[in-house]
């Protein structure tokens, strides 16, 4: 879910915290880093580490996972900056990572020579922190200065430091902005727009900033000039966005997240901030030749043109600046089985990646005097295609292509003449010989067909005896598409087991309507979809409940918690990762208040009744035979928070229901503070599935 911005209190900022419910005996575990809660975590961790890391399979799993994660022959994914190829890289020698660059010509070779500009391991050692890379905001058009986003241990809250890409040094006396959840944009070389925690009354209940200020080089934060203020009641916050193009056009915008999916868009001008007549469910995706690209998640009628939901359209920047009636040009409108997966502007073109029945396609869109034209790009089929990087300084771009059994490849392309050439290929990390990928459809409770992929051995007996793990997400219009999961392949598929990816509603596989079908009180259909896929698999005898495990994280962790409660007979293994589980109090924990648009609110009676019905924490029952779950989270998760996982495990323990709980001290919401942590979490999870589905 959204990573936006602040180290606000877990209960939110600027709003009184309701008293904890009298019937919640484990509310004390919501004390994020309180000594009593952390003592409980330490004891639970000790038991789970013993259960998994003492398993004779663990050492091999960890070694294999770490080797894959740290392999030096991985593809160094590119960032095009100032005529160079930059890359952020982790390996065994650099577990926290280095930011480095090479020339475009050298990058095309098998063994590029890299120049390191920032070493996070060395910086962490020198400063006594565990700095985690959270990206960089580069100043256009010079592309020499950058604001580096550094997280202490993996939190969403970051410190900003100005960095000179030419000297490879932090700028002496430059921008150096202390920790907060914050978003920033370069207005010019001497000025940034920044939204952050400015003090009491400047953060929404969900812990995001709603005040944007203009900060000059050399100024203290207290001297920054306020340019816009949202409302403390906004579900998310307000954030700056700078768009520029290869023709020299440049403009500053603000997003005000009134709700998670509904925002107001503002243009920042010399005379102040002006609200734009854009739909609430839309996003600015770039600009080319003065045309601003807008992706919609609702139908939009303006100037006699109706842009369908899920489309990409363009309007002139000059029209936004002048205030004239907008007449959008539709660049792409999806059919019922399509959705937009990525948009990138080059100097004179737009690269559009789409999902077509959960398979990747790419088009190049070009503005012209007679309107826009579209040209399809030929790339491998039955794969996920992502835009790895593009730049408005040229028409160069790189595309990433991957499938369940096809290792990731990288393709270079000139958008002016789109004939992609493969320039990199990741070696196979597991033996895929004899494995096949099939796509089936299950029928949900309302008759809707729910597609899913299953990877299995071609000679697998259809007797229900194959250990199988399945995942899904089902929320926030996020699509789940085929990818090369090397560690799953090595630790699971190589042993003859199967893997399933379910494309349930709530996600973005088929555009906004697929997502909106499961919003708020309609959410039960998402959980029905997931169960229907499992039942379809069992009907085909591809697996059986005794051999079937499921896993998911964040919103997918909520999905796992619901399925654990509603269908304990369908699974023999459930991994619940960095989850939401207490849906009665989720609005009071970490950034929970920002997700009311997705889940509903206990302040609305009908929504409260539904949340009470599906909340995993509230619906554990004594005397029910549940599969033993594995719940893991991280202390540094300041987005969902570890409180949900802790309370769920504590209630299981109170009811005498077996479980495993593990809380990693670092890693944030994504659990990736360094490569060792990722390998450890993967290995422990695979030991759990081996114990549950393959036998002790």
Q: Give the model's pLDDT for residue 382.
A: 85
The vertex-203 CA angle with 197 and 205, nearest 5°, equals: 145
Cα(394)–Cα(381) distance, rounded to whole angstroms?
A: 27
Cα(574)–Cα(551) distance, rounded to whole angstroms?
A: 6
**Reduced 3-state DSSP string for 174-234:** CCEEEEECCEEEEEECCEEEEECCCCCCCECCCCCECEEEEEECCCCHHHCEEEEECCCCC
Cα(479)–Cα(466) distance, rounded to whole angstroms?
A: 27
Mean pLDDT of 574-593: 97
Residue found by looking up tokens 């390191």 in the block = 116
Counting beta carbons within 10 angstroms of the beta carbon of residue 107, is it exposed (0 to 12), middle (13 to 18) or buried (19 or more)?
Answer: buried
Q: Are 465 and 496 in contact (CB under 8 A)?
A: no
Residue 694 has what DSSP assignment? I
What is the per-residue pLDDT across 80-94, written as a single tens digit (0 to 9) for each?
999 999 999 999 899
Cα(264)–Cα(268) distance, rounded to whole angstroms?
A: 13
Q: Give the model's pLDDT for residue 13.
A: 33
- Where are any strands of DSSP class E within 338-434? 338-345, 350-356, 360-366, 373-377, 384-390, 396-402, 409-414, 421-425
List of residues 6+ apart from 679 with CB closer than 8 A: 62, 65, 66, 69
Cross-strand partners of 470: 500, 550
Exactly one of 615, 669, 670, 690 is catalytic; which is it? Answer: 669
Exactly one of 180, 554, 594, 690 is catalytic; which is it? Answer: 554
Q: Give the model's pLDDT for residue 668.
A: 63
321 pLDDT higher than 60: yes
Note the Cα 520 to chain centre separation in Å.
21
Q: Which two tokens stand for residue 429?
A: 């990390």
Q: Are 629 and 657 in contact (CB under 8 A)?
A: no
8 pLDDT higher than 90: no
Quick one: residue 667, left, alpha or beta (phi over 0 = left, psi -120 to 50 = alpha)? left
Residue 427's φ and ψ, nearest 5 degrees, are -60, 155
Q: Are 520 and 654 in contact (CB under 8 A)?
A: no
Mean pLDDT of 14-35: 75
Cα(627)–Cα(546) distance, rounded to whole angstroms?
A: 10
Helix (H, G, I), strand (E, B) or coil at 489: helix
List of residues 6+ apart from 377 with CB closer than 8 A: 362, 363, 364, 399, 413, 418, 420
Cα(308)–Cα(641) distance, rounded to whole angstroms?
A: 37
CA proximity to 10, closest of 31, 27, 37, 38: 31
Cis status, amide bond into 162, omega within 30 of 0? no
CA dihedral 588, 594, 596, 599 (to 10 degrees): -90
Cα(445)–Cα(533) distance, rounded to whole angstroms?
A: 11
Cα(182)–Cα(240) distance, rounded to whole angstroms?
A: 10
Residue 554 appears among annotated catalytic residues:
yes
Cα(514)–Cα(552) distance, rounded to whole angstroms?
A: 19
Quick one: residue 641, left, alpha or beta (phi over 0 = left, psi -120 to 50 = alpha)? left
Q: Are 154 and 670 in contact (CB under 8 A)?
A: yes
What is the per-residue pLDDT across 238-292, written as a single tens digit (0 to 9) for each?
999 999 999 999 999 999 999 999 999 999 998 899 999 999 999 999 999 999 9
Cross-strand partners of 629: 574
Cα(373)–Cα(420) distance, rounded to whole angstroms?
A: 19
Cα(345)–Cα(246) distance, rounded to whole angstroms?
A: 9
Estimate the crossing angle of helix 675-689 against helix 35-53, to 10 degrees: 60
217 pLDDT higher than 60: yes
Counting beta carbons within 10 angstroms of the beta carbon of residue 696, is it exposed (0 to 12), middle (13 to 18) or buried (19 or more)?
Answer: exposed
Cα(3)–Cα(638) distance, rounded to whole angstroms?
A: 10
Residue 652 has what DSSP assignment? H
Residue 272's φ and ψ, nearest 5 degrees, are 135, -160
Q: Are 160 and 176 in contact (CB under 8 A)?
A: yes
Residue found by looking up tokens 């997966």 in the block = 341
Cα(578)–Cα(204) distance, rounded to whole angstroms?
A: 23
Helix (H, G, I), strand (E, B) or coil at 482: coil
Q: Which two tokens stand for residue 647?
A: 């309370």
Work out the mean pLDDT of the chain and round it to a whole number: 94
Helix (H, G, I), strand (E, B) or coil at 275: strand
* Inter-CA distances, 524 with 445, 505, 521, 567, 683, Å: 10, 10, 7, 13, 32
Q: Determine what percent of the chain is predicted with pLDDT higher than 90.
A: 92
Helix (H, G, I), strand (E, B) or coil at 612: helix
Q: How many residues does the chain have?
A: 696
Residue found by looking up tokens 């654990």 in the block = 564
Cα(453)–Cα(437) distance, rounded to whole angstroms?
A: 7
Residue 690 has what DSSP assignment? I
Residue 386 appears among annotated catalytic residues:
no
* Inter-CA distances, 394 with 28, 226, 235, 247, 312, Å: 55, 35, 38, 11, 22
Cα(289)–Cα(244) distance, rounded to whole angstroms?
A: 9
Q: Specify the range with the lowest mean pLDDT, choosing from 18-27, 29-38, 121-130, 375-384.
A: 18-27
List of residues 6+ apart from 594 with CB closer than 8 A: 2, 4, 204, 206, 207, 208, 235, 236, 257, 260
660-664 vs 629-634, strand pairing mode: parallel
Mean pLDDT of 590-603: 96
15 pLDDT higher than 80: no
């Amino acid at each position: 879910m959204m990573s936006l911005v602040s180290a606000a209190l877990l209960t939110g900022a600027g709003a009184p915290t309701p008293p904890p419910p009298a019937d919640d005996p484990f509310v004390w575990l919501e004390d994020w880093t309180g000594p009593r809660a952390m003592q409980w975590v330490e004891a639970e961790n000790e038991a789970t580490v013993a259960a998994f890391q003492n398993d004779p399979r663990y050492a091999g799993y960890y070694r294999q996972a770490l080797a894959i994660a740290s392999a030096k022959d991985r593809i160094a994914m590119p960032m095009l900056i100032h005529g160079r190829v930059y890359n952020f890289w982790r390996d065994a020698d650099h577990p926290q990572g280095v930011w480095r660059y090479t020339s475009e010509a050298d990058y095309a070779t098998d063994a590029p020579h890299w120049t390191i500009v920032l070493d996070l391991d060395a910086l962490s050692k020198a400063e006594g922190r565990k700095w985690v890379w959270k990206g960089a905001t580069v100043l256009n058009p010079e592309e020499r200065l950058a604001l580096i986003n550094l997280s202490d241990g993996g939190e969403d809250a970051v410190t900003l430091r100005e960095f000179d890409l030419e000297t490879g040094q932090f700028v002496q006396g430059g921008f150096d902005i202390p920790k907060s959840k914050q978003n920033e944009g370069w207005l010019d070389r001497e000025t940034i727009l920044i939204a952050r925690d400015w003090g009491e009354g400047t953060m929404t209940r969900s812990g995001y900033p709603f005040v944007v200020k203009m900060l000059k080089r050399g100024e203290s934060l207290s001297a920054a000039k306020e340019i816009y203020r949202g409302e403390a009641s906004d579900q998310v916050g307000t954030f700056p966005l700078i768009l520029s193009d290869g023709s020299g056009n440049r403009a500053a915008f603000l997003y005000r997240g009134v709700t998670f999916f509904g925002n107001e868009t503002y243009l920042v001008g010399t005379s102040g901030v002006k609200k734009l007549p854009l739909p609430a469910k839309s996003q600015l995706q770039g600009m080319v030749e003065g045309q601003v690209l807008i992706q919609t998640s609702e139908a939009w009628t303006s100037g006699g043109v109706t842009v369908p939901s899920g489309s990409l359209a363009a309007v002139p920047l000059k029209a936004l600046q002048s205030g004239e009636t907008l007449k959008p040009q539709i660049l792409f409108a999806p059919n019922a089985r399509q959705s937009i997966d990525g948009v990138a502007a080059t100097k004179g073109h737009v690269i559009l990646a789409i999902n077509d029945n959960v398979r990747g396609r790419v088009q190049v869109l070009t503005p012209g005097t007679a309107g826009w034209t579209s040209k399809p790009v030929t790339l491998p089929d039955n794969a996920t295609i992502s835009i790895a990087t593009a730049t408005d300084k040229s028409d160069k771009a790189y595309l990433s292509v991957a499938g369940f059994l096809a290792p990731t490849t990288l393709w270079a392309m000139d958008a002016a003449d789109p004939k992609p050439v493969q320039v990199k290929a990741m070696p196979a990390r597991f033996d895929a010989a004899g494995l096949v990928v099939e796509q089936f459809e299950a029928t949900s409770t309302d008759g809707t067909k729910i597609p899913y992929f299953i990877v299995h051995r071609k000679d697998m007996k259809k007797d229900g005896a194959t250990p199988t793990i399945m995942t899904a997400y089902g929320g926030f219009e996020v699509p789940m598409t085929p990818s090369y999961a090397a560690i799953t392949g090595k630790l699971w598929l190589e042993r003859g087991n199967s893997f399933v990816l379910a494309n349930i509603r709530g996600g973005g596989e088929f555009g906004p309507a697929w997502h909106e079908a499961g919003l708020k009180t309609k959410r039960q259909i998402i959980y029905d979809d997931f169960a229907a896929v499992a039942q379809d698999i069992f009907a085909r005898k591809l697996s059986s409940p005794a051999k079937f495990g499921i896993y998911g994280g964040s919103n997918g962790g909520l999905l796992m918690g619901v399925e654990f409660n509603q269908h304990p007979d369908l699974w023999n293994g459930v991994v619940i990762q960095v989850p939401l589980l207490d849906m009665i109090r989720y609005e009071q924990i970490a950034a929970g208040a920002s997700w009311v648009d997705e889940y509903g609110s206990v302040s609305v009676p009908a929504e409260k009744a539904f949340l009470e019905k599906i909340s995993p924490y509230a619906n554990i029952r004594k005397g029910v035979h549940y599969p033993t779950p594995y719940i893991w989270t991280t202390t540094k998760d300041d987005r969902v928070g570890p409180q949900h996982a802790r309370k769920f495990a504590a209630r299981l323990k109170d009811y005498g229901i077996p479980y495993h709980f593990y809380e990693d001290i670092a890693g944030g919401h994504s659990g990736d503070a360094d490569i060792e942590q990722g390998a450890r979490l993967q290995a422990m999870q695979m030991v759990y599935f081996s114990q549950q589905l393959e036998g002790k």
